[in-house]
Amino acid sequence: MAEKESGTGDSVGAPADLDKVLEEKIGEYERLLREKIQKEQGVLNMLIKTISSHTSTWKNLSSVVTNALVDVSKVNREKLLNNVRDNLLLMMESGELPSMTEEQINLILQVVDEGFNAYLTLLINAGADSIKRYIKWLPELPSQNQLDKAIAEFNGIVHAMAVLMARLDLLKHKCNELIRRIEEMYIKDTKFLILKALEESGRPLPAKDIVMLIDYKVSEMAVRKHLRTLVNEGYVRKLQDSKNKYYLYEFVKAPWTELGGCDGEAE
């Protein structure tokens, strides 16, 4: 099993294979990053589109309102003039007004029409000025070239992040491989073989149980001797078993654990 793991580590470490693995990792993380930001990017694009649409509408709002008022005024102007004519005729019939010729009636309608047009012009100008004063504070949207440049820079950042994450991933792999090899070097020494067995047990053990764990490679007396050394070096803690009246030995640390973990793998 050890030879198989070592072989795997060597193959990954070869320059050609390392480049291939790194390229695959970069692609993998780049896809992952793009999937994570796809939703947010979609929302951003929609927001830009909406702002652009509304800004364009606001920029043209003055002419839109003016045209709308003119269209409405055409209908209302005819209604107004017809109502004035009808009222004049009714008032003449009732005697409230003296009889007037058609020319006199048309003259009155002309005055009303001019007044209506003057009022409409005043209303349009005031509305247009008000809208223009508001619109001038609206922010200018970036040009398409600026957006394309920002998107290109964003894609570059995504790629750089993917490269960094891939390299961190490979560095962790190499770090773990290095720690494993250091550990293998240590446990060639019987003392550290005992320490490794105690670490893997995960609980305090008496010396006789440790002898079994290392497949009786040394005697119990030799195990006790190594345990005393490990206790003195701070790698093992010696405990008194109050029930069975013998000592238990608890794993504390090991030279390979003092190297620290290989944190930094990108998730």
What are 84-112's pLDDT values in tens digits? 888 888 888 888 778 888 888 888 888 88
The pLDDT assigned to 20 comes to 74
Domain assignment of residue 137, given as a range: 2-149
Tell me how far apart the alpha carbons of residues 182 and 197 are, in angstroms, rounded to a whole number. 16
The pLDDT assigned to 263 comes to 60
**181-195 pLDDT tens trace:** 877 787 788 888 899
By DSSP bridging, strand 246-251 and strand 236-241 are: antiparallel
The pLDDT assigned to 248 comes to 92
- Asked, for residue 224, whether it belongs to a domain, the answer is yes
Tell me how far apart the alpha carbons of residues 26 and 130 are, in angstroms, rounded to a whole number. 55
- Asked, for residue 103, whether it belongs to a domain, the answer is yes
Whether 85 and 112 have beta carbons less than 8 Å apart is answered as no
Co-location of 192 and 143 in the same domain: no
User: Which DSSP letter does residue 236 get?
Assistant: E
Q: With a cut of 70, say whether residue 157 has pLDDT above it.
A: yes
Co-location of 140 and 192 in the same domain: no
Strand partners, 239: 248
Residue 248, domain CATH: 1.10.10.10
Co-location of 9 and 136 in the same domain: yes
Q: With a cut of 80, say whether residue 53 has pLDDT above it.
A: no
Last residue of a domain, one of 121, 149, 177: 149
- Asked, for residue 30, whether it belongs to a domain, the answer is yes
Number of domains in the chain: 2
Last residue of a domain, one of 124, 149, 174: 149
- Asked, for residue 31, whether it belongs to a domain, the answer is yes
Contacts (Cβ under 8 Å, ≥6 apart) of 61? 131, 135
**243-266 pLDDT tens trace:** 767 889 999 998 877 766 566 443
Tell me how far apart the alpha carbons of residues 124 and 92 are, in angstroms, rounded to a whole number. 35
Co-location of 193 and 145 in the same domain: no
Co-location of 39 and 144 in the same domain: yes
- Asked, for residue 157, whether it belongs to a domain, the answer is no
Co-location of 125 and 42 in the same domain: yes
Residue 141: count other Cβ atoms within 10 Å of its Cβ. 13
- Asked, for residue 162, whether it belongs to a domain, the answer is no
The residue that leads in pLDDT, 32 or 114, is 114
Q: pLDDT band at 5, cuts 50/70/90?
A: very low
Taking the mean position of all CA atoms in its chain, how far away is CA 100? 80
Calculate the average pLDDT of the chain.
74
- Asked, for residue 108, whether it belongs to a domain, the answer is yes
What single letter denotes the amino acid at residue 267? E
The residue that leads in pLDDT, 232 or 116, is 232
Co-location of 12 and 129 in the same domain: yes
Co-location of 67 and 140 in the same domain: yes
Whether 113 and 145 have beta carbons less than 8 Å apart is answered as no
**142-153 pLDDT tens trace:** 666 776 777 777
